[in-house]
Amino acid sequence: MREVRKWRCGFCKKDYYNKSYCKNHEDKCYHNPKNKACISCAYNEKTYIEVPENPYYAGAISYKEFDGQYCAKYQRWVYKMDTKERNLEIDCKGWKDLG
């Protein structure tokens, strides 16, 4: 047995055993603000749907379930859970820093 060294993306926490692979990933990572992707944008809003009855716990009236991510700038789904619609932008002109 021996100890191994890993490299971690500074934006999404993904691990790599190879430093240059990690660097390549970081350059393209959707969480890297440099790439102006939906995930790191202030206009990206998580949406929830109200589920009337919680099927897993008796007694609970309703709960909110994650439903997707919506772009408030261009008024369209970034990701929609039920339809699996995906519109992930990279180098988006409307991108805004979370700052």
Binding residues vs Zn ion (CB under 5 A): 9, 11-12, 14, 29
CB of 25 to Zn ion, least distance (A): 6
For residue 31, the minimal CB distance to Zn ion (Å) is 5
Cβ 26 vs Cβ 35: under 8 Å: no
Choose between 60 and 90: whose C-beta lies nearer to Zn ion. 90
Report DSSP state, residue 87.
-
User: The tokens of 22 are what?
Assistant: 């990690």
d(CA 78, CA 56): 28
User: Closest CB to Zn ion among 29 and 37?
Assistant: 29
